[in-house]
Amino acid sequence: MTQVNALHQSICILPIHHSHRREQSLYVQAVHNTGKMPLHRTLDAYGIDDNRKVLSQLKQEKYDVLVKKDHLARPDLTPGAYVSIRDEDGYGNFNWLNPKGLMKYQTPEVAVISFTNQDQLTHLSKTYSETPLPDFLIKTLNAEACLDTDLYRQSPCLAHFVSPIDSVQHGYLIGPNTPYCDLKVLDTYINAPETLKDSKHGIILCTYAIHPHIESSFLGGDHQPGIKALKVSQGMPQSNIDRETKIDSLTSILSLKKEHVPQLQKLKNETEEHLRNVYGVNEHDNVKMFFHFPVAEKTATLHLHTWVNKGDHPLNEPRSFDLDTIIAHLQSGKEISDLVLDRNEGAYFLPTSDSIKDIRGIPFKGVRKNFLNLPL
């Protein structure tokens, strides 16, 4: 079932019943979009197709925000904020945006990255392929001591591996996004994960693509029996794995092609099952699955963010590509580069502190006023 709130250009088919939790919501079996470009920013959590061509201007009247203020009415960002988006969130339903995300994105200015042609994307893909896997992922795969392996040792159910459907597909390792969780929240993941969806923190997972030829003691040695396995180490470029195995690593959404659709569909299905089995997530919860683009070199291997009942900042929207959007685009026979160049006419906005703007050869166009700030 897909939950749909107020629809403007969409028509809902076969209404089933009213939600008890969100009185203005309907549950429907299908959504047809009547606009001309249905693949722009599919909101999989709501079943709403957003046809905006430009994502650079915030419609402030859509946002209701609760934030702490001092005696001079100046916003205090340190406790975070509660955000509700009209026509998307149910009436009176606010989701918490944690202080780390709020302070990162609520900035006076943003850095602008502007892609105008395929050559720029090809160059960026090559740069990503020359980077190693993230350090913490290497430690996890090799079962070395780190925050993630310690977490999974205490509660093995928190890690789930989506196995490859064949010998050339990547698997996917699902787990909590630990850098964005304090120790108290991590303790809840270990001891009471089913309570998180109804807490202010919500659920934040990060899922990493795992090359089929990587040897992993954490995943049980050779997780693809019968094929050559390589032990990865810090400093090893992903391109080395590609040359050795003749199978390209998935370093960003640019690596995805139509042949990856069945594995992506399996990823979606098993993620939903993992959320139900471990976290008690159901159809009343707000689930978002998306990839970021562009990404920093230090995290340049394909990874999927999964959020449940979590607030977001508008600046995060232009560079977030829903998993459903990616699948539908690839199924249509189109290239991911077309989707990237079409989103906001190829322009992407980042906090000025973000290292993405410093990637060698990336089309950084300077800074501009941040028109995507929350109305605080």
Task: Write down the pLDDT at residue 40.
Answer: 38
Inside any domain, residue 202: yes
Task: Write down the pLDDT at residue 56.
Answer: 62
Alpha-carbon gap, residue 48 to 144, rounded angstroms: 43
Nearest CA-CA partner of 231 in 213, 219, 204:
213
pLDDT of 15 strictly over 90: no
Inside any domain, residue 159: yes
Alpha-carbon gap, residue 149 to 218, rounded angstroms: 8
Inside any domain, residue 178: yes
Inside any domain, residue 78: no
Inside any domain, residue 165: yes
Give tens-digit pLDDT for 68-108: 999 999 999 999 999 998 878 777 789 999 999 999 999 99
Alpha-carbon gap, residue 358 to 165, rounded angstroms: 37
DSSP-based three-state secondary structure for 27:
strand
Task: Write down the pLDDT at residue 223.
Answer: 54
- Residues 6 or more apart whose CB falls under 8 angstroms from that of 199 comprise 188
Alpha-carbon gap, residue 178 to 26, rounded angstroms: 34
Nearest CA-CA partner of 238 in 326, 126, 357:
126
Inside any domain, residue 122: yes
Q: Name the residue range of residue 287's domain.
A: 111-369
For the chain, give the longest Cα–Cα distance.
67
- pLDDT band at 45, cuts 50/70/90? very low
Inside any domain, residue 117: yes
Domain count along the chain = 1
| Burial readout 42-75 (b: 16 or more C-beta within 10 A, e: otherwise) | bbbbbbbbbbeeebbebeeeebbbebeeeeeeee
Inside any domain, residue 318: yes
> 238: domain CATH number?
3.30.428.10
Burial status of residue 302 (CB atoms within 10 A of its CB: 0-12, 13-18, 19 or more) = buried
List alpha helices for 157-230, DSSP H: 183-191
